[in-house]
Amino acid sequence: MFQNKDTYTFLLDGKTIPFTEEQTIIQAAMAAGEYIPHLCFNPEFKPHGSCKICTVSANGRQTASCTQQPQAGMVVESNTPQINGERLALLQMLFVEGNHFCPSCEKSGDCQLQATAYEMNMMSSHFDHFFPDRPVDASHPEYLLDFNRCILCSLCVRASSDVDGKDVFSLAGRGIKTRLIVNAESGRLADTNFSGDDKAAHVCPVGVIIKKRVGFAVPIGQRSFDEHPISFTPHPALKDN
Amino acid sequence: MLSHMHKHAEYLDPILSRYQYNAHHLLQILREAQEYYGYIHADAIDYMAQQLQLARSQIEGVASFYSLLYLQPQGEYRVLFSDNITDRMLGNMQLMESMCKELWVEAGKVSEDGLVSINTTSCTGMCDQGPAILVNNIVINQLTKERVSAICELIREHIPLSDWPPEFFAIEDHICKKDILLDSNFKAGSALAKSLRHSALETLQEIKTSKLRGRGGAGFSTASKWEFCRSATGEQHYVVCNADEGEPGTFKDRVLLTSYADMVFEGMTICAHVIGAKKGFLYLRGEYRYLLDHLQAVLHHRRQQSQLGNNILGHAGFNFDIEIHLGAGAYICGEESALIESLEGKRGTPRNRPPFPVTSGYLNQPTVVNNVETFACASLIGLHGGAWYANIGTDTSAGTKILSVSGDCVRPGLYEYPFGVTVAQVLADCGAQNTQAVQISGPSGICVAANEFDRRIGFDDLPTAGAFMVFDYSRDMFEVARNFVHFFKHESCGFCTPCRVGTSLLANMMDKLAQGHGSPYDFAEIEKLNVLLLSTSHCGLGHSACNPVLDTIAKFRPAYDKQLIHKEFIPAFDLDYDLSQARQMTGRDDAGAHLERTNVSK
Ligand SMILES: Cc1cc2nc3c(=O)[nH]c(=O)nc-3n(C[C@H](O)[C@H](O)[C@H](O)COP(=O)(O)O)c2cc1C
Ligand code: SF4
Ligand code: SF4
State how far residue A44 is from chain B, nearest Cα, in angstroms.
18
Residue B72 lies in a domain: no
In a domain, B140, yes or no: yes
Mean pLDDT of B123-151: 96
How many A from CA of B530 to the centre of ligand 3?
14
How does residue A232 score in pLDDT terms, banded at 50, 70 and 90? confident
Instruction: Verify whether ligand 2 is closer than 6 Å to residue A113 (CB atom).
Output: no
* Average pLDDT over chain A, rounded to an integer: 92
Q: Name A56's bridge partners.
A: A63
pLDDT reading at A1 higher than 60: no
Across A15-19, A37-41, B223-227, B586-590, least confident range: B586-590
Confidence of residue B326 (pLDDT cuts 50, 70, 90): very high
Hey, are the CB atoms on B500 and A176 less than 8 Å from each other?
yes
Whether B156 is in the pocket of ligand 3, judged by its Cβ within 6 Å, is no
Tell me the ligand closest to B497's alpha carbon: 3
The pLDDT assigned to B580 comes to 66
pTM for the model? 0.94
Is the minimum CB–CB distance between A49 and chain B shorter than 8 Å? yes
Whether the CB-CB separation of B42 and B5 falls below 8 Å is answered with no
Question: Which of B153, B169, B185 is where one domain is finished?
Answer: B169
Position B551 in a domain: yes
User: Nearest Cβ partner of A97 from B45, B501, B532?
Assistant: B501
pLDDT of the residue at B217 = 86
pLDDT of residue B597: 46
Q: Which CATH number fits domain A85-214: 3.40.50.2300, 3.30.300.180, 3.30.70.20, 3.40.960.10?
A: 3.30.70.20
Q: Are residues B123 and B232 in the same domain?
A: no
Question: CB-based contacts of B297: which residues, under 8 Å, 6+ apart?
Answer: none
- Break chain A into its structural domains and give their ranges: 8-79, 85-214
- Tell me if B499 CB under 6 Å of ligand 3: yes
Q: Which residue of B has its CA nearest to A65?
A: B536
8 Å CB contact of B536 and A184: no
In the reported structure, the alpha carbon of residue B437 is separated from the centroid of ligand 1 by a whole-number distance in angstroms of 24
pLDDT of residue A2: 44
Mean pLDDT, rounded, for B230-244: 98
Same domain? For B306 and B344 the reply is yes
> Who contacts B274 (Cβ-Cβ below 8 Å, separation ≥6)?
B200, B203, B204, B207, B226, B230
Residues of chain A above pLDDT 70, percent: 93
Query: Are B54 and B156 contained in the same domain?
Result: no
Could you tell me the fold of the domain covering A8-79?
Answer: Ubiquitin-like (UB roll) (3.10.20)
- If asked whether residues B442 and B304 sit together in one domain, one would say no
Which chain A residue's Cα is nearest to B60?
Answer: A172
Cα first-last separation, chain A: 41
Instruction: Tell me, yes or no, if B330 comes closer than 8 A to chain A by beta carbon.
Output: yes
Asked if the model's pLDDT at residue B599 lies above 80, the reply is no
Query: Do residues B253 and B315 share a domain?
Result: yes
Choose one of B65, B89, B120: the last residue of a domain.
B65
Say yes or no to pLDDT of B324 above 80.
yes
**Mean pLDDT score, B537-557:** 94
* Confidence tier at A104 by pLDDT (50, 70, 90): confident
Q: B409 at the A interface (CB within 8 A)?
A: no
For position A204, what pLDDT does the model report? 97
In a domain, B535, yes or no: yes
Which carries the bigger pLDDT value, residue A32 or residue A224? A32
Domain that holds residue B163: 77-169
For residues B515-529, average pLDDT: 88
Average pLDDT over residues A144-160: 97
Say which CATH number the domain at B95 has: 3.40.30.10
Q: Do A175 and B493 touch (CB under 8 A)?
A: yes
pLDDT the model gives residue A217: 73
| Interacting residues of B424 by C-beta distance below 8 A, sequence separation 6+ | B453, B454
User: Looking at the domain assignment, is residue B335 inside a domain?
Assistant: yes
ipTM, 2 decimals?
A: 0.94
**B455 Cβ inside 6 Å of ligand 3:** no
pLDDT in tens, B459-470: 999 999 999 999
In a domain, residue B261? The reply is yes
Residue B538 at interface with chain A, using a CB cutoff of 8 Å: yes
Give yes or no: residues B53 and B81 share one domain: no
The answer to whether residues B383 and B289 belong to one domain is: yes
Task: List pLDDT tens digits, range B165-175.
Answer: 999 999 999 99
Say how many domains are in chain B: 6
Residue A130, pLDDT > 70, answer yes
Question: Do residue B90 and residue B138 come from a single domain?
Answer: yes
From residue A155, alpha-carbon distances to A41, A48, A204, B59, B546 in Å are: 8, 9, 7, 19, 30
Residues of chain A found within 8 Å of residue B508, distances taken between Cβ atoms: 128
pLDDT score for B591: 73
Report how far residue B153's alpha carbon sits from residue B487's, in angstroms, rounded to the nearest whole number. 31
Question: Which CATH number characterizes residue B244's domain?
Answer: 3.40.50.11540
pLDDT-based confidence at residue B573 (cuts at 50, 70, 90) = low
**Confidence band (pLDDT; 50, 70, 90) for B598?**
very low
Q: Would the pLDDT of B201 be above 60? A: yes
Does any domain span residue B395? Answer: no
| d(CA B15, nearest CA chain A) in Å | 22
Distance CA B50, CA B398 (A): 52
Do A90 and B504 lie within an 8 Å CB cutoff?
A: no
What are residue B78's phi and psi, to 5 degrees?
-100, 110
Q: pLDDT above 90 covers what percent of chain B?
A: 89
Average pLDDT, chain B: 94
B8 plus B137 within the same structural domain: no
Q: Give the residue-averaged pLDDT of B517-536.
A: 90
CA angle B133, B139, B143 (to 5 degrees): 45
Whether B376 and B311 map to the same domain: the answer is yes
**Residues of chain B above pLDDT 70, percent:** 94
* Smallest CA separation from ligand 3 atom 8, residue: B493
Report chain B residues whose CB lies below 8 A from the CB of A177: 494
Question: In a 3-state reduction of DSSP, which class is residue B400?
Answer: strand
Of B46, B57, B505, the CB nearest to A170: B57
* Judgement on whether residues B303 and B344 belong to the same structural domain of the protein: yes
Under 8 Å between Cβ of A229 and A115: yes
Task: Please write the tens of the pLDDT for every residue from B351-369.
Answer: 998 999 999 999 999 999 9
With 50 as the cut, is the pLDDT of residue A240 above it? no
Flag whether pLDDT at B601 surpasses 60: no
A182-191, B2-11, B29-38, B565-574: least confident range: B565-574
The average pLDDT across B456-480 equals 97
Would you tell me the crossing angle of helices B26-37 and B6-18 to the nearest 10 degrees? 140
Both B250 and B137 in one domain: the answer is no
Between B558 and A237, the more confident residue is B558
In a domain, residue B567? The reply is: no
